[in-house]
Structure 1
Amino acid sequence: MSSTPPNPVPSVEDAPVDALVVKENEDAWTAEELQEVLAELTEQREHSSVIITEHETELSGLMRDSGDGAGPDPADLGASTFERDHEMSVLNNERDKLLQIDRALERIAKGTYGRCENCGEPIGKLRLMAFPRATLCMTCKQREERR
């Protein structure tokens, strides 16, 4: 099992703030607003990295201990299977979240942050400030959820 590698976090000075798109009725991104988003993404990334490390260790222990005992008691087997499945689910969710965070950081560095990956329209600054990992505008996100 592998821990998450550090991802270089772009600074506000490195990010092309002027290139970031906004909706027609929104003001352009400011360095302060982008700094808030970067701080949130950095905090989320650190938190996810800790959770991933903890759950990788826990899952490793569960896998190692799965053959212990005098024989497979059905209740013990069910409990350990449930625990293992839970750990894998949490681990996969956090890994997905980490990929989303890294993708957002990459988009900030490239100046493509804020543009919907589906239709190309602006996602909206308010949406991104509430959910910095967003890659779809509300219209495309709603369409995706209906499928």
Structure 2
Amino acid sequence: MEATDAARMQVRPGEEPWTHEEVARLRARLEEDVAAARREVRAVEAGFAELLEDPVEGAGDDSADTGAKAFQREHELALAYNTRDLLAQSEEAIERMNAGTYGICRSCGQAVGKARLQAFPRATLCVTCKQREERR
């Protein structure tokens, strides 16, 4: 994102305008999140591929061992789904930066808020709209 893009980003009343450095830090953080999530997803997928390739894995286990392994696999799958979701959110945030729509609430069209984006750079809703969504 160029300096002019930072200057065009909306802020809430009372907030200082975005600087190029602040936007660059957010972009770098999102890009780091994307890289880390991709590595984690690849690692989990590789682990499951190995598990599927080993037909004798778990042979001779009692029911408690089988249940524990099934629980562990389900837990790893849930973590992988969460990681994929965070990956998609981070990629989408970078796309919004590129499109010039980053920091605009998807619900009301107002600024999400600089402090909110610095705390959670994948935010797509301002605090008011997020609270309204959570009450539903």
Q: Tell me the residue number matched to 1:60.
A: 49
TM-score normalised by L of structure 1: 0.82
Indicate if the aligned counterparts of 1:48 and 1:98 stay in contact, CA closer than 8 A. Answer: yes
Indicate if the aligned counterparts of 1:116 and 1:122 stay in contact, CA closer than 8 A. Answer: yes
Q: Which runs of structure 1 show a deviation greater than 6 angstroms over 4 or more consecutive aligned residues?
A: none
- What's the offset of the Cα at 1:120? 1.2
% of aligned pairs identical? 45
Structure 1 or 2: more helix by fraction: 2
Indicate if the aligned counterparts of 1:22 and 1:123 stay in contact, CA closer than 8 A. Answer: yes
Q: Tell me the residue number matched to 2:80.
A: 91
Q: Tell me the residue number matched to 1:41.
A: 30
The amino acid of 2:2's aligned partner reads E
Distance in 2, Cα, partners of 1:89 & 1:67 = 24
Cα distance change on mapping 1:69 and 1:128 into 2, 3 Å: closer
Q: Tell me the residue number matched to 1:140.
A: 129
Root mean square deviation, CA, Å:
2.0
Question: Structure 1: where are the runs of 5+ without partners?
Answer: 1-11
Secondary structure of the residue aligned to 1:16 is: helix
Distance in 1, Cα, partners of 2:74 & 2:53 = 14
How many pairs are equivalent?
136
